[in-house]
């Protein structure tokens, strides 16, 4: 059997949810917005850009010298002014910017005026330390208010920040700091995670042995245990801001000046420093945050991601603050002290918009609906998902047990590279379908193409691409123009390659099917990992599943499934057969996993994505590739042993 399709589309989802009428009637996005954007997409983006405050208005919208874009390139503005000063000047200084909740239970609410004052104090302190416009500053912190303060203070004085997720090791700090030659490193003594202390400053000390560009290390006090401070290099945050003025003149930035770098770990090669600039990025995150989450004056908005990822940059810091939103920042994990911590927070602050990831939702499913059921979640009115394809079962569970059947679910597709959401429903307009990110947002042009770069007809699958520039797009990879061209702009002419597999249905809805590199080839069928995983998750005993291909003499590749079960279920050969039959029935016999290994946990990155590359190594019995991005390395050993016995059984 041979198939020429780039990727086959096997499942069919028929459930659909039109927007609730009361939401639709007052929604921020009005019908007609798609047509308006299509008539003149540059003018559309320019009108959103003009909602920001410019110290020098732009006269040019887009200069496109493929693959390099300049948006609003002759305008000047400052990101921290747009995030803070603007609202304070408009009389909104007392409005809460962040409700902060530390893992041990400490709480603070921080108004826009207070946040502005803190940002100014820290900005002045940075300047006094000799940090200036054009420098890069690394930030390695827990989820404490000092983290967004540090980011915004950098933006205020024109230094680019490079946030390094607080779960990374000293080696990861070294690579990232050296790549972009950061002059300073901002950290905290320690952080809290599941009741344990994370040794942030210690990690920095280890890293700074190999980061000659770092002149200064600024340490915020979070936990309070003593840490080593090296004279001449290390300073306490509270000392340097002690007599710092609360006014700090913002540096006017060109729209195309670097706002930040954020490193994405390529699965094999060294991390890429993704560059985001000021004007276009702020335009993209502000517009999408307002429309996709339908943000209103009285909303309490919570993006439960870590600021160390792009989701946090765009939808905890820049998007919400530019829109004057009231947000939550929570330091810790969802299961501390118990598995209902998130729901307790939703109830306490009357959260109305919640944005989280499929991996979290599947974990909540595994723990069981009794945890959210303990809390009053009636304040919620909108739910969002990001980070991975959301399996239809997880989508339905989210809608039912968290949204209590009332809240639209917006599945938002985007990437570190895209800066802002690209494909997602507009909750007042779009009919949603469980598992689909639905349609490109107004102003965004996307397509699904085959190996030759031709648009695939409705119903077909292929490569997801973006077909014209957008304001929040990456401006390149730090120090590696060629890699930028190669990675994103070389496979197809004039198209940005996202690297994701995708299917589009007859109505034009996009169904993302995982990374193209993960596609399995069984008897010539190109099968997406997402579809097989979603079929497995539909089985009532399954909580989470990850599949990958394993070389097979008969079929080229055979499907190998790693399955974790709900609650008290245990894995048996009988259940494995039941799962094979279930998948076969749902998607076709050729998609039945040949191998099934049960496991408590799946190997995930620190941002919660399943590491299928590692699973492939495990399935093939190979030595494991790079495991530095793995969240919990104990998971892997056990899997290796089980997989070895599973393979031995097959050979016998
Ligand atoms: O594979 C897609 C998946 O996450 C990748 C981007 O990862 P990152 O740069 O870490 O950014 C994550 C937060 C934006 C994409 O290439 N992805 C993200 N959102 C979705 C998704 N896959 C399917 N559906 C989504 N909603």
Buried b (16+ CB within 10 A) or exposed e, 99-109: bbbbbeeeeee
- Return d(Cα 355, Cα 303) in angstroms, integer: 5
262 is a domain residue: no
Ligand 1 pocket member 412 (CB < 6 A): yes
Give residue 582's domain range.
Answer: 523-651
Nearest residue (by CA) to ligand 1, atom 14, is: 415
- Nearest alpha-carbon partner for 99 in 407, 358, 381, 347: 347
Task: Convert the pLDDT of each residue in 57-72 to its tens digit.
Answer: 999 999 999 999 999 9
Out of 420, 512, 529, 631, mutate this one to test ligand 1's pocket (max ligand atoms within 8 Å of CB): namely 512
Residue 274 pairs in a beta bridge with 262, 477
Question: What pLDDT sits at residue 5?
Answer: 64
Centre of ligand 1 to C-alpha 168, Å, is 20
**CB-ligand 1 contact for 191 (6 Å cutoff):** no
Measured in Å, residue 386 CA sits from the centre of ligand 1 at 6
CA-wise closest residue to 177 among 132, 216, 136, 236:
136
- Is 414 a domain residue? no
Q: Which residue has the tokens 């404490």?
A: 144
Q: Report CA(578)–ligand 1 centroid distance (Å).
A: 31
**Short-list 532, 299, 511, CA closest to 413:** 511
Query: What atom in ligand 1 is closest to the CA of residue 417?
Result: 9
Q: Is the pLDDT of residue 3 over 50?
A: no
Helix (H) or strand (E) holding 564: strand 556-565
CATH number where 614 lies: 3.30.300.30
Distance CA(293)–CA(423), nearest Å, equals 13
Rg (CA), the chain: 24
Residue 87: inside a domain, yes or no?
no
Q: How far is the CA of 214 from the centre of ligand 1 (A)?
A: 32
- Look at strands 62-65 and 68-71 and give their pairing: antiparallel
Instruction: Say how many Å lie between the CA of residue 464 and the centre of ligand 1.
Output: 12
Ligand 1 atom nearest to CA at 414: 14
Are 140 and 166 a contacting pair, CB within 8 Å? Answer: yes
Q: Which of ligand 1's atoms lies nearest the C-alpha of 413?
A: 26
Q: Is 224 exposed, middle or buried (0-12, 13-18, 19+ CB in 10 A)?
A: exposed
- Residue whose CA is closest, atom 6 of ligand 1? 415
For residue 177, is it within any domain?
Answer: yes
Instruction: Tell me the two tokens of residue 477.
Output: 């990879």
Q: Which two tokens stand for residue 92?
A: 């909104």
Per-residue pLDDT band at 15 (split at 50, 70, 90):
very high
Closest atom, ligand 1, to C-alpha of 498: 16
State residue 14's pLDDT score.
Answer: 85
Number of domains in the chain: 2
pLDDT of residue 10: 80
Instruction: Extract the tokens encoding 357.
Output: 């990831």
Helix axes of 41-49 and 279-292: crossing angle, nearest 10 degrees: 90
The CA distance from 18 to 594, in Å, is: 39
Percent of the chain with pLDDT over 90: 87
Asked, as a colleague might, if the bond just before 337 is cis with ω within 30 of 0, I would say yes
Quick check: is 174 in a domain? yes
Distance of CA 227 from the midpoint of ligand 1 (Å): 37
427 Cα to the center of ligand 1, angstroms = 20
Q: Which helix (H) or strand (E) holds 277?
A: strand 272-277
233, 251, 269 — which closes off a domain? 251
Atom of ligand 1 nearest to the CA of 385: 26
Token pair recorded at residue 346? 């939703």
Q: Whose CA is nearest to atom 26 of ligand 1?
A: 413
For the stretch 486-497, pLDDT in tens is 999 999 999 999
pLDDT band at 605 (very low <50, low <70, confident <90, very high): confident
Residue 469 covered by a domain:
no
313 vs 198, 403, 428, 515, 566, CA distance in Å?
A: 22, 25, 25, 23, 33
User: Is there an atom of ligand 1 within 6 Å of 500 CB?
Assistant: yes
CATH number of 140's domain: 3.40.50.980
Per-residue buried b or exposed e for 52-70, using 16+ beta carbons within 10 Å of the residue's own CB: bebeeebeebbeeeebbbb
Would the pLDDT of 354 be above 60?
A: yes
Residue 535: is it exposed, middle or buried by C-beta count within 10 angstroms (0-12/13-18/19+)? Answer: buried
The last residue of a domain, from among 251, 278, 313: 251
Rounded mean pLDDT of 213-236? 98
DSSP assignment letter at 459? T
Q: Is the CB of 85 under 6 A from ligand 1?
A: no
Query: What integer is the mean pLDDT of 250-263?
Result: 98
The span from the CA of 79 to the CA of 584, in Å, is 52
The tokens for 544 are 């989470």
Checking if the pLDDT of 226 tops 90, the result is: yes
Indicate whether residue 423 lines ligand 1 (CB < 6 A).
no
Query: Is 355 near ligand 1, meaning CB less than 6 Å away?
Result: no
What is the number of helices (H) and of strands (E) in the chain?
22, 29
pTM score, whole prediction: 0.94
Helix (H) or strand (E) holding 151: helix 146-157
pLDDT for residue 2: 41
- Average pLDDT over every residue of 398-417: 98
Contact 48, 286 (CB under 8 A): yes
Residue at a domain's end among 251, 280, 308: 251
Q: Which of 266, 386, 411 to mutate to test the pocket of ligand 1 (most atoms within 8 A of CB)?
A: 386
Is 635 contained in some domain?
Answer: yes
Per the CB < 8 A criterion, the answer to whether 526 and 547 are in contact is no
Which of 497, 437, 169, 495 is CA-nearest to residue 288?
437
Which pLDDT band holds residue 269 (cuts at 50, 70, 90)? low
Q: Are 343 and 371 in contact (CB under 8 A)?
A: yes
C-beta of residue 165 within 8 angstroms of C-beta of residue 131: no
Distance 644 CA to ligand 1 centre (A): 31
Can you tell me whether residue 362 is helix, strand or coil? helix
pLDDT band at 268 (very low <50, low <70, confident <90, very high): low
End-to-end, the C-alpha distance of the chain in Å comes to 27
> What letter does residue 591 receive in the DSSP assignment?
G
Q: Is residue 46 part of a domain?
A: no
Report pLDDT for 634. 82
CA distance 645 to 638: 11
267 Cβ closer than 6 Å to some ligand 1 atom: no
DSSP string, 64-116: EETTEEEESTT-EE-HHIIIIIHHIIIIITTSEEEEEE-TTS-EEEEEHHHHH
CA dist 642 and 645 (Å) reads 5
pLDDT above 70 for 267: no
State which of 7, 163, 414 you would mutate to test the pocket of ligand 1, scoring each by most atoms of that ligand within 8 A of its C-beta: 414
Q: Whose CA is nearest to atom 18 of ligand 1?
A: 387
pLDDT at 309 over 50: yes
pLDDT (0 to 100) of residue 1: 38
Q: Cα 203 from chain centroid? A: 24
453-509 tens-digit pLDDT: 999 999 999 999 999 999 999 999 999 999 999 999 999 999 999 999 999 999 999
Q: CA-CA distances (angstroms) from residue 647 to 620, 621, 644?
A: 9, 9, 5
């Amino acid at each position: 059997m041979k198939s020429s399709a780039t990727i086959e589309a096997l499942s069919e989802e028929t459930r659909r949810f039109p927007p609730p009428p009361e939401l639709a009637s007052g929604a921020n996005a009005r019908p007609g917005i798609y047509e308006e954007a299509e008539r003149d997409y540059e003018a559309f983006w320019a009108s959103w850009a003009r909602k920001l405050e410019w110290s020098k208005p732009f006269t040019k919208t887009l200069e496109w010298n493929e693959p390099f874009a300049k948006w609003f390139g002759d305008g000047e503005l400052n990101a921290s002014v747009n995030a803070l000063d603007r609202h304070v000047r408009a009389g909104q200084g007392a409005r809460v910017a962040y409700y902060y909740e530390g893992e041990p239970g400490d709480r603070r609410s921080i108004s826009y005026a207070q946040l502005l004052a803190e940002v100014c104090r820290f900005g002045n302190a940075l300047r006094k330390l000799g940090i200036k416009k054009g420098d890069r500053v690394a930030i390695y912190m827990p989820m404490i208010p000092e983290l967004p303060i540090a980011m915004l203070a950098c933006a205020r004085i024109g230094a680019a920040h490079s946030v390094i997720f607080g779960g990374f090791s000293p080696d990861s700090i070294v690579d990232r700091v050296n790549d972009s030659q950061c002059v300073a490193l901002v950290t905290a003594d320690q952080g809290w995670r599941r009741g344990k202390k994370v040794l942030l400053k210690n990690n920095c000390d280890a890293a700074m042995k190999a980061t000659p560009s770092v002149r200064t290390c600024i340490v915020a006090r979070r936990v309070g245990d003593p840490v080593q401070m090296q004279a001449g290099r290390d300073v306490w945050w509270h000392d340097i801001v002690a007599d710092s003025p609360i006014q700090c003149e913002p540096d006017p930035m060109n729209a195309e000046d670097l706002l930040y770098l954020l490193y994405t770990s390529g699965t094999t090669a060294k991390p890429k420093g993704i560059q985001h600039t000021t004007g276009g990025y702020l335009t993209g995150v502000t517009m999408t945050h307002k429309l996709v989450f339908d943000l209103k004056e009285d909303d309490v908005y919570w993006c439960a991601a870590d600021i160390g990822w792009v989701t946090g940059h765009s939808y905890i810091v820049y998007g919400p603050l530019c829109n004057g939103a009231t947000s939550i920042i929570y330091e810790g994990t969802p299961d501390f002290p118990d598995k209902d911590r998130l729901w307790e927070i939703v109830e306490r602050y009357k959260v109305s918009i919640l944005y989280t990831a499929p991996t979290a939702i599947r974990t909540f499913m595994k723990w069981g609906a009794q945890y959210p059921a303990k809390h009053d979640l009636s304040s919620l009115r909108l739910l969002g998902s990001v980070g991975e394809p959301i399996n239809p079962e997880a989508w339905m569970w989210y809608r039912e047990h968290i949204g209590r059947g009332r809240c639209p679910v917006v599945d938002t597709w985007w990437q570190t590279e895209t800066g802002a959401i690209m494909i997602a429903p507009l909750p007042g307009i779009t009919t949603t379908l469980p598992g689909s990110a639905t349609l490109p947002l107004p102003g965004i042009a996307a397509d699904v193409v085959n190996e030759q770069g031709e648009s695939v007809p409705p119903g077909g699958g292929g490569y997801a691409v973006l077909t014209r520039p957008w304001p929040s797009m990456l401006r390149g990879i730090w120090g590696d123009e060629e890699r930028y061209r190669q990675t994103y702009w070389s496979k197809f002419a004039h198209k940005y390659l996202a690297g994701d597999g995708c299917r589009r249905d007859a109505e034009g809805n996009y169904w993302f099917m995982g990374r193209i590199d993960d596609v399995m080839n069984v008897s010539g069928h190109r099968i997406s990992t997402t579809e097989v995983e979603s079929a497995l998750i539909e089985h009532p005993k399954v909580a989470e599943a990850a599949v990958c291909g394993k070389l097979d003499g008969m079929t080229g590749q055979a499907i190998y499934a790693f399955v974790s079960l709900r609650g008290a279920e245990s894995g048996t050969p009988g259940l494995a057969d039941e799962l094979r039959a279930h998948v076969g029935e749902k998607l076709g016999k050729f998609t039945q996993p040949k191998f099934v290994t049960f496991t408590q946990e799946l190997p995930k990155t620190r941002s919660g994505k399943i590491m299928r590359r590692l699973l492939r190594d495990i399935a093939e019995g190979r030595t494991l590739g790079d495991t530095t991005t793995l969240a919990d390395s104990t998971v892997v050993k056990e899997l290796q042993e089980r997989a070895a016995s599973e393979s031995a059984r097959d050979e016998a």
